[in-house]
Chain A
Amino acid sequence: MKKLLIAFIAAAAVVTTAAIIVSREDSILRTSSITTAADYEYEIPLGTGERTDAGEELDIFPWLLKVHVGESIRIVNKDDRDHLIGAFFVGAGETLTQEFVSPGMLTGECSIRPGSSFTIQVFE
């Protein structure tokens, strides 16, 4: 009985530790980098940050993008500022390309439209 309980505690400790390590990863909608052409392509032009600061409303991204597993998105940031586009961070001068590999929802703020969000719904 005692050995069983010790084994149980050891197993609980291992499971708890593993759960702690992976719990935050599991909740992320998985994506993977690709290099081929993307299904949805967006470009953030140079000067976007300044235009946003000036109060201009830019229509670069939709509020909601519906995609399917296997499709991909590419965001080219030609601005001299970093931008937060929903769940994605795209540094100044960087290009982000991601493939959607599981269904779910990605949402977050959009630095191009202060106070609003950009949501991607991924369907099977």
Chain B
Amino acid sequence: MTERHALPSRVAMSIFAGLIIALVPASATFADAPGPTDYRSTITSVETTDGLPLPEGVSISIEGHDSFLALTVPKGVAAEVPGYEGESYLKIDQDCTTSENQHSMSTWYNKDRFGGDASTDLVDNDANPDWKIIGSTCSVAWHDHRIHYMSSIPPINAEPGDVIVTDSIALTIDGRDVVVYVASELVAPASQLPAIVGAIVAFAIVTVMWRGTTLALLVFPISAIGIIIGGAQYLWAPADTGPNISVFALPFIAAAAGIAASVARQRGLLFANGSVLLGGTMLTIWAIRRIDVFSYALLPTSLPYWVDRSATAVITVSGITFVSYSVQQLWRMSTVRPTTGLATD
């Protein structure tokens, strides 16, 4: 089989494999990881019924701006989290084993930030708990829907700074009753300027490089930016909140394709353009999956938000361009008979 006949199937298989890798982590994630939001939730106070302070080493926090309520206890201290209807929901044993009651309605309702499907036949709040071990780190985080507003669209007439949600959550820690009071406020909308500037700059760069036929060289550096942005998002979210590996795995695949495209430019147009197509596809999927960063106020990252938004815009424009460029080149190759075995852009 000649290279001209073998390479199309290799390129197709690479893209197919990349898509599989891209899609698998999303479905395998055990929880709905923190995403962009317009609300900032805070714990306003923690009170114990006996008035005494919590045991040393106990930590109660909100993670993901408004997404998760997280509880950590030291080894030797047990904790229980009742569900919305007072049923057994979560528990941390003294040996740090964390378990979730499969019969609890809250277990299923809390699977998603905006409310999971709790209509499974397993739900029976009156049944004896069916504990499923979900961890062994003395900590647990869950989508407690009392800490956040349950819609992605802000309430009509609400202004930034308005407290949209106030509520309380009862826990039992070391055999003592604890009440956590929370409030969630609407945050001012994000500026579109970083995204617009990023898109314009990226468009100018890809246009120049397209005309100079050096676009393949751009795949790796753009992918590297994606790895940094996605890596910052992945590391920002605590492990208990189920951060999704695809946030940096997709640009990582694209970076590998970018290296292949750069190296292969002198080897053959088909391999180089196939690599650009693979890289562009991965970057475009990555950008589409995090398109919400442009419209929500708070982002799931430790980086400055303007960096995240402008970089995402750069990658969006670049990814679409890589796909368009490589498709054009491959289409041209399929219609023009080559005059030489070696070709350059």
Interface of A with B (CB < 8 Å)? 1-2, 5-6, 8-10, 12-13, 16-17, 20-21, 23-24, 27-28, 31, 82, 84, 87-91, 94, 96, 98, 106, 108-109, 111, 114-115
B219 lies within 8 A of chain A by Cβ: no
Q: Is the CB of A108 within 8 A of B151?
A: yes
Given A5-B328, A10-B203, A17-B196, CB of A24 within 8 Å of CB of B317 = no
Say how far A9's CB is from chain B's closest CB, in angstroms: 5
Query: Hey, which chain B residues are within 8 Å of A10, CB to CB?
Result: 203
Q: Is the CB of A12 within 8 A of B320?
A: yes
Given A24-B295, A88-B156, A89-B155, CB of A9 within 8 Å of CB of B324 = yes
Interface of B with A (CB < 8 Å)? 84, 149-158, 162-167, 192, 195-196, 199, 203, 206-207, 210, 291, 294-295, 316-317, 320-321, 324-325, 328, 332
Residue in A closest to B200 when the chains form the complex, CB atoms? A13
Question: With A88-B156, A109-B149 given, can you name 7 additional A-B contacts, CB distance below 8 Å?
Answer: A9-B203, A16-B320, A17-B199, A87-B151, A87-B155, A88-B157, A109-B165
Other-chain residue from B150, B158, B291, B325 in contact with A109 (beta carbon distance below 8 A): B150
Query: Hey, which chain A residues are within 8 Å of B164, CB to CB?
Result: 84, 89
Say how far A34's CB is from chain B's closest CB, in angstroms: 13
Other-chain residue from B84, B162, B206, B295 in contact with A20 (beta carbon distance below 8 A): B295
Q: Is the CB of A89 within 8 A of B158?
A: yes
Other-chain residue from A2, A16, A94 in contact with B328 (beta carbon distance below 8 A): A2
Query: Hey, which chain B residues are within 8 Å of A87, CB to CB?
Result: 151, 153, 155-156
Say how far B91's CB is from chain A's closest CB, in angstroms: 23
Say how far B87's CB is from chain A's closest CB, in angstroms: 14
Q: Is the CB of A6 within 8 A of B210?
A: yes
Q: Which 3 A-B pairs have the closest CB atoms?
A: A89-B158, A89-B155, A20-B294
Query: Hey, which chain A residues are within 8 Å of B167, CB to CB?
Result: 114
- A90 to B338 CA separation, bound complex (whole angstroms): 70
Other-chain residue from A2, A9, A91, A106 in contact with B320 (beta carbon distance below 8 A): A9
- A88 to B291 CA separation, bound complex (whole angstroms): 27
8 A-B residue contacts at CB 8 Å? Answer: A13-B317, A17-B199, A20-B195, A82-B162, A82-B163, A89-B155, A89-B158, A89-B162
Query: Hey, which chain A residues are within 8 Å of B166, CB to CB?
Result: 111
Q: Is the CB of B324 within 8 A of A96?
A: no
Query: Hey, which chain A residues are within 8 Å of B154, CB to CB?
Result: 89
- A67 to B167 CA separation, bound complex (whole angstroms): 30
Other-chain residue from B152, B156, B163, B295 in contact with A98 (beta carbon distance below 8 A): B156
Residue in B closest to A91 when the chains form the complex, CB atoms? B162
